[in-house]
Structure 1
Amino acid sequence: MIKKSEWQTGSWNEQDLQAKVLNLKPSATLWINERSAQLASEGHTIYRLGLGQSPFPVPNEVVTALIEYAQEKDYLPVRGLPALRQAVCDRIKRFDGLERSAQNVIIGPGSKELIYMVQMSLKARLILPSPSWVSYAPQASLTDRKVSWINTTWQEGLRLTAKHLEETCSAHPGERLILVLNTPNNPSGITYNESELRSFADVFRRYSVLVISDEIYSETHFQGAHISLARYYPEGTLISNGISKWAGAGGWRLGWLSAPTELTWLIEALGKIASETFTAVSAPIQYAAISATKDTPTLSSYLLACQKILGELSCQAIERLHKVNIKVCESNGGFYLFISLEAHREKLSLRKVDSGSTLAQALLNETGVASLEGEHFGRAPEELSLRLALVDFDGAKAIDSVKDPTYISDSRLSEVVHSHCTKVMTAIDLICEWIKTHAL
């Protein structure tokens, strides 16, 4: 029994944390979601454009499969259910024509964890195009990794180019390099065409760059035309994906990572880490996830409806923002708009709005619109940029109103957004009115 004299309540405190943990801030997306919920509970009207959670329900056939397999209670293989790993390979072949082995697929509790494990495993510098998802750089900090940002410009539409890649890779001779390419991009919605991806592949191949192709938003491409970098750089591309975004199952926590045969050794290493950490992903969810990878008429209809709703919503929001001279990055997929209010800097600075954080705070306090400043995505702190997540609507009702997405007219699609995405469009209007009041 420990005597009181041997254990003082103040003998342990936060200063005993490792510096990299002590200095770590909560994930920005999760923080804004919790802050929005707190404000709403206090009686404030909040428009939740902060967290990028899918507004759509999990497809019915996937829910049915989860119910069917709810009794599965045994541990599954560390790298994942063999049938699911094969289903992932079949899906990759169907979409991108690539032959990948189930032995080189690992299933994890979300792709986020798997990306972290890759960073943890390798001795290399991380390269991130700006803007990039909020968690890549903090994960690098946790794994004591150096990060180099590629600062894309608004004049270039925030698009990554082969020239950017060449300049960055050549600046680190002799170093191993990892790059994360997220497309459709969070926060910008940017996608890349075949010509661009081929030019990227040439640079990656020349410098032996290991690329994590984060394709978690692949099936949210508005035209259903996602292209994986792995088509053109198969030997050096890890494909990361999962069911959180395009299948609406963020809370189920299931993702996967697929590697070429050249990187079998890396999948084996990740399996070792998994065996000492999460052990295995939930068995019922793995069984159910197989159905999410299939090419069925009902799932295809679901995905098409989601793509059309998101595309129309994005178009309507962009049209309104442009009317008040807010610059918007061209979005071709995902849930987001990335906007710049630099054109209004002079007048906004009179109200002490002179950075991304003061801009986001002013909008939250004065309009109730929750957003995330660009600094969280690798932009300069002083840049007046924000990410807006267009997700504050009932996706189930929106899908039901579409009926047959293959033949829906443009006018009917516009009506669906007008009827079911009211809160998102109200938030956009509030931003526009705020600009008219304070900056025009």
Structure 2
Amino acid sequence: MYRQVEVSQTLLINTQSKNLAVQNKKVIAFGFGQSPFMPPKSVLEALKNSAHHKEYSSVQGDLELREYMAQFHKAHNGLQVDPENILIAPGSKILIFNILLAFEKADVFIPAPSWVSYSPQAKLAGHNVIKVNTSFEERWRISSKSINEAAKNKQHEASVMILNYPGNPDGLSYTEDELKDIAQASKALNILVISDEIYGLLDHNHSHLSFSNYYPERTITTTGLSKWCGVGGWRFGAALLYNNIEPEFKQALIGIGSETYSCAPTPVQLAAKVAYKNYDEIVPYLKKQTHILNQIGNFCAEQLNSSGIRVHLPQGGFYLFPDFSLHKEKLNNYGVKTSNDLCQQLLKDTGVALLPASAFGFDQDYLAARLAYVDFPDPAEKVEFDLNTDCPNVIEGIYLICAWISNI
């Protein structure tokens, strides 16, 4: 018997959208979350100049790069990590999976909504997945109350929780008080927290708070270049381990890495040195991105809300999680019973691609979807960004969604 593993929904919608484009059908690509921004020119040049480096790196990654990363994240938001406790890999995705693989049996707490790969990875690792419920009214935020309620379903001694903020699919973050509350519950239940902060540098107000500052005892922070540096295809990720990590746990992570990915690509690591060498030099690049993303995200949210599609204003990254449930009756009458129906019908009627809520931990009949507002070319070279002229697909796509929900 083979394992039953579905294709990642984000990759699937990207393929479907490309297939429609090949058929000369216009698609507004809100389904796949890929940054449109090019990396800084110095980082691009560093990759070009490093192409001749074909040697293997150590499993843990280049030491000087890890030193730069420790300094970078301390300057960014005070995150404290020893360079010896940083693991470099071809993407943070494989690092999250390897952390889960390090446990023989565990309960894995996963908020709903959450990124599409967390739950499948936990199941592939043989663990018991426990959903931590949230709601629109709670801004899709978990709390000590919801964690303790979910803990009633524990089956194993070991516990892991995956926290992601600014979030995919919701674009929302946590306040300091909320993080302290979650930390208190995590400590009481002895939960290892994987804090996926891959979008942390794209906090729209540059006020990202790392969870490890509130729960340093057992937090592993994952991050990488794919989102803030716009190089998802380069495959570069990092895990920042807690400083008193158990030697056998750390060795297990390095051992699993040695038997799976071997090392991150050496030329990419050398380019990453330039990206992480000086945080202050990167700040203007980040501010330009977040200024643009904030404008686009707020426009999208305001337009959707005006059509009765509930959504919270984004706080980071480039996602919204629109809730269509106020239109449930007429959607049902139109034959739309599930979030998958919703996305398929919307794509058929308008050419707008969204990703269904069922991919993010919700029941099939919950009518919501993820919207990635990044269907625009990189405007970074322009002196002034203009929403109307620089993001025509985004504007068209939002208006098409609003018109669609009004006319069915």
Query: TM bucket by the smaller chain?
Result: over 0.9
Shift of 1:419: 1.4
Letter in 1 for 2:12: W
- d(CA) in 1 for partners of 2:156 and 2:344? 43
Of 239, 251, 268, the residue aligned with 2:251 is: 268
Alignment of 1:88-127 (within 5 A): 88-122=69-103, 123-127=105-109
Unaligned 5+ segments in structure 2 are: none
Secondary structure at the aligned position of 1:327 is classed as coil
CA contact (8 A) 1:105 1:267 kept: no
Question: Counterpart in 2 of 1:140?
Answer: 122
Deviation string, structure 1 residues 120-175 (Cα, Å, up to 9, x no partner): 11131110010000000111121111100011012222221221122223553862
Tell me, yes or no, if structure 1 residue 67 matches structure 2 residue 44. no
Question: Counterpart in 1 of 2:184?
Answer: 202
Question: Counterpart in 2 of 1:386?
Answer: 369
Question: Counterpart in 1 of 2:196?
Answer: 214
CA contact (8 A) 2:130 2:153 kept: no
CA contact (8 A) 2:46 2:271 kept: yes
Question: Counterpart in 2 of 1:8?
Answer: none
Letter in 2 for 1:400: E
Secondary structure at the aligned position of 2:108 is classed as strand
Letter in 1 for 2:189: Y
- TM-score, scaled relative to structure 1: 0.90
**Which of the pair has more CA radius of gyration?**
1
Question: Counterpart in 2 of 1:155?
Answer: 137
CA contact (8 A) 2:198 2:223 kept: yes
CA contact (8 A) 2:69 2:277 kept: no
- d(CA) in 2 for partners of 1:47 and 1:311? 19
Question: Counterpart in 2 of 1:437?
Answer: 407
Alignment of 1:253-332 (within 5 A): 253-265=235-247, 266-295=249-278, 298-332=281-315
CA contact (8 A) 1:215 1:239 kept: yes
Shift of 1:89: 1.3
When residues 297 and 419 of structure 1 are mapped into structure 2, their CA distance, relative to the original with a 3 A threshold, is farther
Secondary structure at the aligned position of 1:241 is classed as strand
Of 328, 336, 353, the residue aligned with 1:353 is: 336
Deviation string, structure 1 residues 351-390 (Cα, Å, up to 9, x no partner): 1111101100000000000110000000111011010110
Secondary structure at the aligned position of 1:328 is classed as coil
Question: Counterpart in 2 of 1:13?
Answer: none
Question: Counterpart in 2 of 1:12?
Answer: none
Of 366, 373, 388, the residue aligned with 2:356 is: 373
- d(CA) in 2 for partners of 1:297 and 1:276? 37
Letter in 2 for 1:179: M
Shift of 1:433: 0.6
Deviation string, structure 1 residues 38-78 (Cα, Å, up to 9, x no partner): 01001111111111011111111111111222221211111
- d(CA) in 2 for partners of 1:77 and 1:264? 21
| Bigger Cα displacement from structure 2, 88-97 vs 25-34 | 88-97
Unaligned 5+ segments in structure 1 are: 1-16, 404-411
When residues 106 and 306 of structure 1 are mapped into structure 2, their CA distance, relative to the original with a 3 A threshold, is same
Of 412, 420, 424, the residue aligned with 2:390 is: 420
Alignment of 1:27-66 (within 5 A): 27-66=8-47
Tell me, yes or no, if structure 1 residue 193 matches structure 2 residue 175. yes
Shift of 1:97: 2.4
CA contact (8 A) 2:343 2:353 kept: yes
When residues 87 and 320 of structure 1 are mapped into structure 2, their CA distance, relative to the original with a 3 A threshold, is same
When residues 262 and 170 of structure 1 are mapped into structure 2, their CA distance, relative to the original with a 3 A threshold, is farther
Shift of 1:94: 1.6
| Bigger Cα displacement from structure 2, 190-199 vs 296-305 | 296-305
Question: Counterpart in 2 of 1:249?
Answer: 231
- d(CA) in 2 for partners of 1:330 and 1:237? 28
CA contact (8 A) 1:353 1:359 kept: yes
Q: How many residues align?
A: 406
Deviation string, structure 1 residues 257-311 (Cα, Å, up to 9, x no partner): 0111322532321111111222111111101101112335552211101001000
Shift of 1:242: 0.2
CA contact (8 A) 2:77 2:208 kept: no
Letter in 2 for 1:367: T
Question: Counterpart in 2 of 1:333?
Answer: 316
CA contact (8 A) 1:104 1:264 kept: no
- d(CA) in 2 for partners of 1:197 and 1:157? 14
Letter in 2 for 1:129: P
- TM-score, scaled relative to structure 2: 0.96
Letter in 1 for 2:177: S
